[in-house]
Structure formats: structure tokens, C-alpha cells
Structure 1
């Protein structure tokens, strides 16, 4: 299909009206006397209730700090606190967050960098840095957590219920990353650390299986403790190795069983380098005024090399040669077959660079029952993605098959035998299947530049009243965000109009061996081909039409009352408030007119907490929540062509929809929590969300393509009225679930078990949503079951812990070469990690900590299915290997 882009659209169902909020407030009383918990101790030093002078540190202290945060919060919150300066409990932020109750992650090259909360994927939650909204390194709003070095963070809070003064949005929650506050630390700290990484699979001899990370932190106060500074810097240079198998899909083989239409299997080596620096300055003027200034910068480079074998199996005559024989099947799935065809040897390169900047300032004033705050921040991300593809074979569109490949389906993905020499010196760069026209396309370059700019300003005033309404606050938040994408694409062809180009011997690298029986493959760096004159770059001017510019201005005035009352022998705390959210969207395609849209939403919220002397907390929350659409879904461009598979043929296209309304839900939470002082807790958390407004892919069969540039080729459709696919708003559905969570120190049972403990949780969620046609649909990122657990021992300086995290199958997000989004059903997975360490608390080595950890100990695969009812019908099967990390930190 030849593609063009334009911005005209009509006939789409754009949005549906919201349902009115109808909530019931319940008051629960208890005969026990409530006691406010003391303020949480710093994460590196927490009081242990087993004795008057015993102090715990490290992981136990981090758990105690997170427990105190949960207990004292007026919202439902889950927290991760750093064990010490520069020491979050896991290799990265994503792993730490994914261990929290009701939360899971999707791995990318083995890194947990995409987070799902309560069964909803990353597009349904927001992430902030010190409470401020941030730009992102991907096309959407969802943060990729590997853009933030874990060493510079003091902790993470995940808020699962809404409050009027939390204005960043989020249908299922807000993830707040926190950096150090020097006036809270209150003393001088200098900390440094280094660690080495080893990956137990080196898939490409031209890559490395070793890496390292290093950090340094300086915190100090001066001016009699009224001013302070915190500086942290971290550098990462680490490899990631991925075995990756992909099937084209499944179709009918001789005999009627379903078999693979084609395969692509490769090894991927990923070299990630990241430098991050964060600084905070704080100063107090007397007891009334506090100034806080924050700055953060991160440079992220990710160099990926992919070398692989691709071959059509079953293309219905569209792939030259795909003769199928020796078919065996079981339950309608082909389990083995032999194919005579034409392999394609591929060398790809994907280079991503991202620079993220964040500046913020806060002025807070408090006096005589009044307080006020002004906060301003700026965040920007500049990103480039350069995806380079090259293909090689024995010639272009050869008249006979060049290989015979047999495969057998196994639980670990298909295994192959082949007579093809993928490292032959006779291989040349060409369009192996003959799919391209003139000039011959032996490769393609897809370069994208994205900028994301966000300014936020906020003002707030609060008055303490006393009594049941403890205080009243009012404020307003304004954000201005602009996201711009520009694309530059081009064909890579042999010089002089030739059909093939030789691979120079001086550019060849050591061959790569695939592990599925497909033998060694020719290897070279595709980045060197055009500079060396081996291939010629020809611009594809159509690529520029994919660019867009999206602007979003959001005003959020809000008011909230804080509640605090004694109810007999119980204490009731909480808040009630409302936000009014005005959004104005401006969307323009490359050289196309601009579409504008605006709308209002009213979002009330209520949080009630009943606290008892026996350390029970009962929470009830009700709110109206929303999450704005993915930014690319708001673009104002259409790609279109002629659909010649229909009778009669018609114009058909797809594009964005600038008039999409946000996801909206009415939410209710009910929690029962039991605390054991500051050491641990057990909780049952119930939740229900009625999804008032959803976003699903829809279409209209009455779109008018009149005035669009003509599509080359004949015949042409008889009418300009055709089909347009785009996301639209639908009525949604509902979700409900339960979470069981806790941190349990074993010394609550016996002092003999002091130092041992267990922390973790499990969540079960049911969802029901419908697509554009009213049929049942799946929420992206939704897992019915999630669970995590960490068994630990920490005493006498020793620290040992073993961890697992599990999630059932879900609809995962995968990036396409075109820059688009592909969603596939990812199978459930369980990941195991372990760590052992020792902290020196006295002598000349006081302040030194040593540790060794093993990650992904069972090398758990990540896999998707092409046919849900067939467990061997893999569309994707990836493994990342085990990682061993050894390191040391020193604090003085």
C-alpha cells in the first residue's frame, strides 16, 4: 500500500459524556484509642522496638521507614526507601517498584523499565520527580525507569488513591521519585560506590559481557544547620544480551494445521551508558521561610546491535520460494515441518541518545497557622533514535530456493536444522526476496528526533483551623507541554544501480552463532557501510510527513480540607477535596493545518482513615480519576492508501485523533491494615473502579478522502469515501481486585528469630472492558495475578535476602521499527534474585559495605503467543541470561 498523510478527518465518534459521580461516605468507629505514629526515622537508622537502645540499619531500616510512611499517610501508598546513601534495594528503580504490592513490570533487554499498577499498563499512571511532572524518553507519557540512576534517589512512593492536591493525574496511581533533602539529612555525608557486572551469556563475540557502575554523593549543612546542599552523580556502562526469536504469525499449512508464516531469530547486544547528576540546595530564613532548588541531568545512550536470520515460510506465493513438506501436527498446530526457501541474513543497528534536563524551585512560608507555597519547574528531553537495517543473501530474487530449513516446536521455542551457510564469503548486500523496486533496497535508515518540553507552575495557600476540619488549602497548578517528532528516512542501495554490493572483507567481524541450530552468520557494523561507499543513501521524502507537534495546556485549580477528629476512643483523619481540570490541546501534522480542542473535568476525592490504639488502620477512599491519552494518539496526521484486498477496492487509512478525551474512572478503595509498631504490618486492600470513559481503536467506513493527493497505481476506487482507523472514546467497563501485603519481622513471634523477616504481597484483579464494536477487550498491561516476596536476614553486619516476583500473562507493549506500537500477549513469568552483603560498623573499615547479588537466577524467558490456546505457538521468545553484580560502598 502506498502511503500519504493528511489531517482531514470526519465521521469519527470522538467522545462520550462522563457519568456523574455518586459516592457514599461511610464512618467506622472502634472502641480502641488511636495513637499517631511517630515520624519515620531516616532509612539508614531506625529504632527497633525489641529494646530501648537497639538500632537497625540497612534493609531492615529501609523497610521500617517504608512501613512508617504507609502508616502515617492519608492516602493508600506503597513505598521504597534507600537502605543507605546510594543504595536502593535492587539493581534499578524498576525492580524495586515491581516488588511492591499490586505492581509489576515489563522487561526490556532484561531491565524492568515499564511499570504496571493494579493491572493497568504504563499509559494509565503518571511519574513525578519530587512531586513534579517530568518529560519522558519515549513517545508517550510513560516514564522508562532506566532513565533515572537509582544511586541518586532516596526513595519512591506509589500513591494508589487520589487527593485533590496531587494534580499530576493517573487513573491507577502516581509514582513519585524522591531525591535527598539536605536539611532532613542534617549532617555531612560523603559516600562513594562502585560495582562490577557480569552477564553469563556472551552472544556476540564482538560485544562485552562485563560492565560497571559508580557513584559519589556529598551532603552537608552549614549556617548553623539552616542551609544545606546535596550532590549526587552516577555513571553506568553495562552490557545486556538477548536471545530473540520472532515468528511472522501463523497460517494454514498443507493439511490445514496452523504453522509459522516465517521466522526472524537473532542475537541482540545492548551497550547502555548513562551519566546522571542531581543537586539540591535548601535554606531556611528563620522558622518561617524555606527555599528549595533542584537540578537534575541525565545523558542516556543505548547502542544495540542485532544480527539474525530471517526466512519466509508460508507467504501464499508472495515470497518467491516457500515450498512446505514433511508436516506433522498436533491439536491443529504444526509441530514440525521442512521448508525450501530463501533466507535473509540481517545486520541491524539501533542507536538511541537522550538528554534529560530538570530544574525546579520552591518557596515555602509558614507563620501563625498560615502557610503558602510557590513552586515552578521545567523539564525537557531531547532524544534521537537511529534504526539502521541491512539485508544480505546469495543474490537478488534468485530463481530457485537457496536453503532447506526444518523446524520442531519445543517448550523453549522452535529448534532448527539448516543446510544454509550464513557466514559464506559469497553473501552480498541486496534485496534478497526482490520486494523493492528501483533502486534495489539492501537496507533502510529510520532516523527520528523527538523533543519533549514541560513547564509547571503551582501556588498554594493553607490555613489551619482546628477541630474536625484541621485545615483548608486552595491552590492552582498550570502545565504547558509540547512534544515534537520529526522523521528522516532513506533507502540504502548498491552504488550505480547495481543489484548487489559485496561485503568488504575489512568490514567483516567475527561471525555470530545463533543458538537454535541455524549456524554462524556473517557479521559487520552496518553503520560503516554508507561512509565507506558500500551502499548509497537515498532520502525517502515520505518519511518527513510522519512528523507532528502536540501542545497541551492544563489549568488545575483545587481545594482540599484536611480532617482530624476523635471519635470516642478512635481517631479519624483524612481529606476531602475537588479539582477542576481545564485542558487545551493543539495538534498539527507536518505542514498541515492545526486542530484545537478543549474541555473541563471535575474530579472530587475523599480519603478517610480510622486509627486505633491496637495499631489498626482502616482506610476508605472514593474519587473521580482520569488519565490523558497517549501523546502519539493525539497527532494530526493520516497515512492512507488503497486497500486492494476488499471488493470493491477502497481508500483506507489510519491516524491520530486530537479530540480524544481522557480515560476516566470512579474509584473506591477499602483497606484493613495492622501494624507492629514501626517494624512491620499486614494489610488487605480492596478496590473497585468503574471505567466511565475508555479509549479503543475504532473506524468509520464513511471517511471522505476528497482533496487528498492521489495514490499511484491503477485501478482507483470508484468513490473517495473510504475507511479510516483511529482511536476513539468508548464507554469502558470496570475493574476490581484485592491485594494482600505485609512486612513481617519474625521477632514478633520469638526473639530467637531476631533479624529474620519476610516482606511482599500478592494481588488479584478482574477487569471487563469492551472494544469499539462492543466485544470484550483486554487492558494493556493487565495481569490477573501479581505477587512478590523477599525473605531476609540482617544482623551482626550480615545481610542475606532472596526475592521473587511473579505476574500472570498480560498485553505487553513492543516498539516497531516504524516507531509505532505493537501489542502482544506476554506469558506469565517468575523472576528470582538473591543478595548477600556485609557492613563494617567499627574499626578502620567502618562505613564500608560489600555485597554480591545474582539477578534473574533461573534465566526466566519472556515470551508471547500467536495462538492463545496453543502453548507452543510462540510469536516471540526472549532470554536475557543471569547477571552477577559485586560491589562496595563507603560512607564517611
Structure 2
């Protein structure tokens, strides 16, 4: 299965170069340490020198890395950062790409850029993100921030706190990500900046009738004003418009997989194996309900505005107000083809070591789907704070914040399937709606499908039956209102400062789904619409970059044309009733208070400083849900079936927790250039808001012949659990840091985390009204297990500018970072993992191995190599993360794994003069696909190719 390609050889060359650079990065630093220290090196903590005419002015990449090193050096905890004195200097198109250059941070890539960030190999759900010191909302239903909403050009600093301290907002077992916009008075000069950035996407250029070009325009203004007796006023505002295209080539399956009995060859859907049967030795394999190829044409439009006002009426008062607004309008024109019955008539099955299906023969109804997906996501955040210093020792601060995200997804999809007759009423050569095929997963992660020679996926006339139109609407509303009060008092002696404070926050989350499904059975209408709405397959070289290409093109239709011709309208609207048992309606209220002491002094002649404190956090969750009644339908043969009747009853569940979070951070200065940092603390990460809902997902058996109500119910699964408790951990960190000079850093950290348990499915009987009678039906939901789990890790950072080399080689520099983590944390699959009986406590072993922490990668590595000479600056950024488990937004109904990936980005800039520069950026040059497995590794669920992207920009600064 190994495939040798140009991309693979490029990776090998790059990794070899990185290894050499790593060896060079450290040795010169120690050599420089023996040289006479400059004034700057001997007193690194001193105030910046006054600018002199002969002073070397550091700009661009080197300045950004210097600022990041200094930020790490000045911190009171274990912190990694990327920062710049100038707006627009951070190395990435989005905040997520910038964060991925920080040691231990890795991103979850999608076609529209990084969406989530993991710290130290832990998932985004175990970290906390703040924007100007406040918690931020998102449209995904979890606590991860959608970093694609925020343009990197409007930020100056991003920090990741690896250890906790009492004055940080609670939350973040993995760490806390802090996004900061610059305060206008801190900038100390006027600046008007504009940048226009052209974009070229080769995949978009493959699509007939589409332009491969887009653009990104950014403008910012910062100024300060002297108001005389009213003090000083600073203002800043930034705006960005982003209009790009991100086409995707995709292979995917249904999100529900089944364990099929390998000992029984069925001529219909395969026979499902239960936990008990599988554990007793019945052979089985995993199969999906469907397998589909998708060709997409996308559009991505974003407008973002960031603003701030800072007023200092006197030296003792500082007033700040900031605002962020972003609106993203994203759409996908979709064309799908594939099998509608992935479990039907499977035979000659070859099974892998992990019970994955390697190859099989089958027959299935083939289908084409056409659709239009539209997302409208808005973010609004604002806040203000007042800092007052009534005395030289006392500082009092008050802060309020508001964050609100709304996301509306509307999907319109049409479906046509094969039939024994084509659209002209003529019998097909196969004379059956089900087409024989062979599937082979042994060549690569992308399968090869071979269809009966009498059938062609490009034959429009073959798709003549089972017309179905679906209009889906999904909404998310996430809102946070918060306030905090802090006071700081300076002391003399070993304890230098006491900080106390409190915080209140209320988070409201509401999520719903609504589907309107319309069918019709007139063959004459199907024929007319088929003829009227055909469209040529849009993309040349479909999946040509994949290691195995199973399909080049297929019949495609215009979805909006089909809606018009079938219904007389392009959008029939929703059902008119958005209530559903799956909906989430959660209110979370938090009260927190802390006390922290900062210290500094000598310990046996060794300088020591740091802080210790305690934070208490009380969280109250209120979840509201609906329960739907079911009617019993008596069939003519005497059997029964069930149907939801649309009547609802309300339910409300409340739960609360109180957690205490002690922390100690100590820094030991071994010398002016070497220090040791230590941290011991307890941390918490709350469940996702959507995971706290009281909704239920009811799956009814398909077919007839059921003689009892319990037989007719396939499963009832909770879409959330209000009583789910925060993930807690005790943590210990120790770091060694060596600063040879402003450009050189070597740091190594070891850390340990002990978790208070994983998550496991549990069954509990609940009452449901079915046919007017109450039934106790087992419901599966996720709860906290009593198991303990450990995580051990080490991370290393090396950064150096090779100033010791002769000119022009002294312009070369490198930054390397690596994180290794090992954990025995377990997350069970709800359908086929271990399950606990809530009454007896008995555990039934599952058929699928447990996953680890969501987002947990064992290896995370990044390398930045740069070269600056005169006005020219070159930079390459390589990132790698190993395979990781990633939960779905609300639950882990089926385990999903994302294969490890390599990415490489390149930046080139030319400084025309002090006011203008030109930049070229190339992203995803390896064209690394996103590969997902479900429910076990090796069982392909999703493959996405989205190609490289290129940007050329011109930036102008006026001062």
C-alpha cells in the first residue's frame, strides 16, 4: 500500500533539512554564551534602550520571533506565545494557522481553514480560549472557538498558558489560549495600514465556468489624541473582507456504521451482531449504510470589524472598550454519487485485523444527489473595563463582556435512484434497481469501486425513480454575558502582591434541527425534471491527486432547477414547527472567586518568584427538553409499527457542581540566562454546551412484522446529559529555559496530568408514552466513569538566528517545536463500546476498542525556517500531528479518527521601502488530504482533498 510520490520525497528532504537545522540551532547558542555578554544580554530584564542612529532595527519574521521569546521570558507561568509589535505580521491567514506555530499546539484542518486547536496533543474541548480576557462563543455547540472567524491581520499577540494560575478564567485542562488586540494608547503612534491580497486556488480553476481567483482586503487605523484636561484618548479600528473559493473533492460514508455478522451471508441488509454475540466469538465486520463521492463548488465571504477605544482621563484611571464583529457566508454546491445501501447483499467479504471491511461484492441501489448548502454565521463580541489606581499600591479593575454567535445552516437536497426502468420507461440491461459492484479498500484509504459493465454512473437516464427533496435547517445560538471584579495590592517583602477577584457568567445555548422531506411517484414528472435539470459534470481531473482513483465523473443535476420544477419554488421553507426531541436548550451559570499571592525573593542565594492561590468555581446547569409521543400503527397482517405523533411534553433537568482549583507556580533564576519553571495545579474543563442538553434521538425499526412495542424501537439515545460533570485533572509541570540572546531560546518541559475519569455509555430506563400507555424504555447516554487516567508528556522548543555565521548566511534562522504525549484515557463508542447498566452496575464489554481523549495526538511537531537579507524575507512552516480521535459535536455515538497529516506553507516578502511591501504566500503545498476512519482505524469514513492555495499581496503603511 506504500505509494512513492513527489510529495513523499519532498517530505523526506524537508525532514532531513529540519534535523540538520535542529543540530545547528542549539550548538551556536552555547558557543555564544561563553562570549562577553553585551549590555543587552547581561541585563535582559532592563527597559528597552533609547533608539540610536546606529541601532539595528529588527523587523519582519525575526522581530516576531524576538517578541515571542521575550513574552515567554517575562511570564509568571509556563507560557508560549507569538506576538508582534506591528499589526499584520503574524504568520498565517487565520488565527488558527498562527497558533499552530506555537509549541505543542496543533490544528484541525478543514477545507475552509483551521477550525479547532489542540494543546499538547489534547482536544479543543480541554482548552479554554479568551478574547481580550473574556470567554468567546462559537456556532459548533462546543467550547472551541471557530478561529476561522477571526483574521490574523487584526491581532498582535496570541499566548498559550500551559500552567494555570488562580486569576485565570476557570477552564483548561490542556491550557488557555489568549487572543489579544492591541490597546491604541500602547501603540504610541498613528498608523494607517491597507493590504490587498489576491488569491488563486488551482482546484477552483479545474471547475468549468468558475474563476480560480479571489481576494482579501484589510484596512486598519490607530491614532492617539491629547485631550488636554480630559487626558489622552486612543482609537483603533480594523476591517477585513475575505472573498475566496475553497472547492473540495470528497469521498464519504454515512455517519452510522453497523457490525455485520460475517458467519451469515444475507441477500438483504447484513445481520447485525450484538455485544453479547460478538464477545462470544461470532465473527463480524464494520459496514456503512452508504458510500458516496462528492464534487463541490464553494464560496466563502467574510466581513470582520474590530475596534477599540482607550481613554486615560488621569494617570490613575484607564478605561477600555473593544468590539469585534464577524459575519461569514459560506456555501457549497454539491453533487454526489454512490451506493444508497452499503450493507445490502454483501458477499465474498474480506475482513481486516481491526474488523474493517477490506473488500466485498454487493448489489445496491445507486443514487445521485444534488444540493446547495448555505451557512450564515455571525459573531458579535464587546466588552469594557475600568482600571483605577487610588494609591500606588492598590489597583481595582472592573470588566464586563458580551459574546454572541448565531449560525444558520440551510441545506436543500434532491435525490434520484436507479430502477429496473430508465426515465423513458424502457427496461435497463440489468433489469433491477440494484446494481452489482465490487469495492476494494486494500490499495489505499480511498476505495476502488467497480460497477457492472452494463451500468454507467454518467448515464443520466438511469436515475429515474424514488425522487426525494429534503430541506434541512439547523440553527445554533450561543450567548455569554459576563462580569468580573479584581483588586490587586502591592506589599513589601517576600509576598509582593495580593490579588483577589470574582467572576459571574451566564451562557445560553440553543440548538435545533428541522427537516422537511417531500416525495413524489410520478414517472412522467421525474422524466421531465430529469431532462430539464441536467448539468455537465463541472470538474476536470476529479480525484486525480488521490493515490487510487475510483471515479472520474458522474451524472449531475442542478438542485435549484429541480426544486423549481418539482415544487414551483426554490425554497419550500421549514416545516413551521421547529420543536423536536433532539433539540438542546441549556443555561449554564457560573460563579467563581479567587485569591492569589505573588512572591519574589532569594532561596539559598537562588532567585525565586511566582504565585500561589486558590480558585473556587460553582456551576449550575439547567437543561430543557421535549419528549414526543408515539402512536402504535396496526398493520393489516396483525403486526405493529411506531410513528411519532407530534405531541410534546416539556422536561427540565438541573445539576450543579462545586470545584476548588489550587495552583502554585515557581520560577527559579539559575543565572541571567537560565531558569527553571515549575507548576502544580488542579484544572477543569466543562463539557460542551450541546453535550449538556436534555434531548433524545429516537430510531425506529424499518419494516413490518413487529409484534411488540419494544421490538419496533431500534434505540433511544440521549443527545446530551445535563448531569455530565467537568473533566478534572491534577497537573505538574517542570520546564528548563535557556536564553542565549534575544534570538535564541532552548526550552524543555515535562508534564503530568491525572484525570478523574473518562466517559462511558450508561443505560437508564425512562418512561415514554406509546399508544396512550407508559413504557419503560432503556435510554443510552454518556456519563462520567470512575476510572482514573494518566497523561505524560514532554515538549521541546529550539529557536535561533544564525548571527554567528558570516554574511549573508547570518540572515538564516530556525524555530523547532515538538510535543510527545502518552495517555490511557478512554472514551467508549455508544453503539458498540463498553456499556454500564445503571441499576446493577454491570459492564458489558464492547466490540470496539475505546478511543482516547478527543483531539489527542501522540506526536505534534512544527518547524519554521526563515532567511532575511536586506529587503527580502523567506519563510517555510512545516507542521505534523499524528493520528487522533475526534468526537462529534454533541456525543460519541460512533468513534471517529483523523489520520495524521503533514502540511507545508511558504511565505516570501519584499520590502519596497519603509511604507510598502509585497508578499507571496503558498498554503498546503503538500496537498495533504483529510482522512477519517469510523468506527475503528482503517475503516474509511471520509476523505477530503482541497488543494494548495496561493496569495499575493501589497501592503501600504502611512504613519
Q: With the length of structure 2 as denominator, give the TM-score of the two structures.
A: 0.80
- 8 Å CA contact 1:667, 1:688 repeated in 2: yes
Whole-angstrom CA distance in 2 between matches of 1:39 and 1:81: 19
* Distance in structure 1 (CA, Å) of the matches to 2:929 and 2:397: 49
Aligned to 2:432: 400
Distance in 2 (CA, whole Å) between partners of 1:850 and 1:343 is 51
Say whether 1:592 aligns with 2:650: yes
Alignment of 1:793 with 2:851, yes or no, is: no
Aligned to 2:386: 363
Following superposition of structure 1 onto structure 2, how do residues 559-570 of structure 1 map, counting pairs within 5 Å? 559-567=595-603, 569-570=605-606
CA gap of 1:864–1:383, structure 2 versus 1, over 3 A, is: closer
2:717: which partner in 1? 654
- SS of the aligned residue for 1:240 comes to coil
1:601-620 correspondence runs (5 A): 601-620=659-678
Name the residue aligned to 1:849. Answer: 917
Change (3 A) 1:751 1:575: farther
User: Following superposition of structure 1 onto structure 2, how do residues 300-379 of structure 1 map, counting pairs within 5 Å?
Assistant: 300-312=328-340, 314-317=342-345, 339-366=362-389, 367-379=391-403
Aligned to 2:689: 631
In structure 1, distance between residues paired with 2:501 and 2:751: 29
Deviation at 1:52, TM superposition (A): 6.7
- How has the CA–CA distance of structure 1 residues 109 and 823 changed in structure 2, closer, same or farther, with 3 Å as cutoff? farther
Query: Contact 2:826–2:853 (CA<8 Å) still a contact in 1?
Result: no
Match of 1:674 among 709, 723, 738: 738
> Hey, what does 2:858 align to over in structure 1?
784
Question: 1:471 & 1:396 partners in 2: Cα distance?
Answer: 82
Match of 1:876 among 933, 942, 952: 942
Higher mean C-alpha displacement, 575-584 vs 746-755? 746-755
CA positional deviation for 1:146: 0.2
Q: Contact (CA 8 Å) 1:47, 1:54: kept in 2 or not? A: no
Tell me how far apart the structure 1 counterparts of residues 521 and 155 of structure 2 sit (CA, whole Å).
52
Partner Cα separation in structure 1 for residue 383 and residue 115 of structure 2? 25
Q: Distance in 1 between matches of 2:171 and 2:60?
A: 33
**Aligned equivalent of 2:811:** 755
- Shift, 1:803, TM fit: 1.5
What is aligned with 2:769?
A: 709
> Following superposition of structure 1 onto structure 2, how do residues 542-581 of structure 1 map, counting pairs within 5 Å?
544-567=580-603, 569-581=605-617
Q: Distance in 2 between matches of 1:749 and 1:531?
A: 69
Q: Work out the CA distance in 2 between the residues paired with 1:91 and 1:254.
A: 53
1:769 is paired with a residue whose SS is coil
For 1:616 and 1:599, the matched residues in 2 are separated by 42
SS at match of 2:71: helix
Correspondence for 1:172? 174
Equivalence map 1:716-731=2 (5 Å): 720-731=775-786
Instruction: Describe how 1:90-489 pairs up with structure 2 within 5 A.
Output: 90-109=92-111, 111-202=113-204, 204-205=207-208, 207-223=210-226, 226-247=232-253, 252=262, 262-312=290-340, 314-317=342-345, 339-366=362-389, 367-395=391-419, 400-401=432-433, 403-409=435-441, 410-411=443-444, 413-418=446-451, 419=453, 420-426=455-461, 430-431=465-466, 442-489=468-515
Q: Is the 8 A contact 1:47 1:56 kept in 2?
A: no
- Tell me how far 1:864 sits from its aligned partner: 2.6
Q: Structure 2, unaligned stretches of length 5 or more?
A: 1-36, 266-282, 423-430, 544-548, 627-648, 829-833, 835-842, 844-848
- Separation in structure 1 between the aligned mates of residue 771 and residue 561 of structure 2, nearest angstrom: 35
Aligned to 2:618: 582
Number of aligned residues = 824
Please give the secondary structure, in 1, of the residue aligned with 2:69.
Answer: helix
CA distance in 2, matches of 1:167, 1:330: 47
User: 2: distance between equivalents of 1:497 and 1:143?
Assistant: 48
Change (3 A) 1:815 1:659: closer
In 2, are the aligned partners of 1:119 and 1:783 still within 8 Å (CA)? yes
More displaced 10-residue stretch of structure 1: 353-362 or 511-520: 511-520
Per the alignment, in what secondary structure is the counterpart of residue 247 of structure 2?
strand
1:215-253 C-alpha deviation (Å, 9 max, x unpaired): 000000011782110110001011112211124568559
1:860 paired residue among 914, 925, 928 = 928
What displacement does 1:859 show? 0.9
Mapped to 2, the partners of 1:697 and 1:502 lie a distance apart of 52
Q: Structure 2 CA distance, aligned partners of 1:379 and 1:301?
A: 19
Is the 8 Å Cα contact of residues 785 and 807 (structure 1) preserved in structure 2? yes
Q: Residue 445 of structure 1: CA displacement?
A: 2.0
| 1:52-105 deviation line (CA, Å, top 9, x unaligned) | 711110111011001000011011111122473223211221111112111111
Deviates more, 1:685-694 or 1:405-414: 405-414
Of residues 807-816 and 97-106 in structure 1, the stretch that sits farther from structure 2 once superposed is 807-816
**Which is further off, 552-561 or 134-143?**
134-143
Matches of 2:701 and 2:766, distance apart in 1: 15
Equivalent in the alignment of 1:13: none
Distance 1:623 1:456 in 2: 25
Report the structure, 1 or 2, having the larger helix content: 2
Match of 1:769 among 802, 812, 825: 825
* Shift in CA distance, 639/541, structure 1 to aligned 2, threshold 3 Å: farther
In the alignment, is residue 698 of structure 1 matched against residue 761 of structure 2? yes
Answer yes or no: is 1:831 the counterpart of 2:895. no
Cα gap change, 1:289 to 1:501, in 2 (>3 Å): farther
81-90 vs 641-650, which deviates more?
A: 641-650
Offset of residue 395 of structure 1: 4.0
Structure 1 residues 306 and 36: alpha-carbon distance in aligned structure 2, compared to 1, 3 A threshold:
farther
Whichever structure has more strand as a proportion of its residues is: 1
**Residues 39 and 285 of structure 1: is their aligned pair in 2 closer, same or farther, counting only changes over 3 Å?**
farther
CA distance in 1, matches of 2:552, 2:808: 57
Aligned residue for 1:115, secondary structure, equals: strand
- Alpha-carbon contact 1:801-1:835 (below 8 Å) kept: yes
SS at match of 2:825: strand
Q: Secondary structure at the match of 1:357?
A: strand
Residue segments in structure 1 that go unaligned for 5+ positions in a row = 1-31, 432-440
TM-score by length of 1: 0.85
Against the structure 1 CA distance between its residues 62 and 458, is the aligned structure 2 distance closer, same or farther, given a 3 Å change threshold? same
Q: In structure 1, what is the Cα distance between the partners aligned to 2:325 and 2:160? A: 23
Report how far residue 259 of structure 1 moved.
8.6
Structure 1 residue 391: Cα displacement:
1.1
Mapped partners of 2:47, 2:294: distance in 1 = 50
Aligned-pair CA distance for 1:699: 1.6
CA displacement at 1:370 relative to structure 2: 0.8
CA displacement, residues 791-817 of structure 1 (integer Å, 9 cap, x when unaligned): 11113011011121001110124569x
- Whole-angstrom distance in 1 between the partners of 2:42 and 2:185: 27
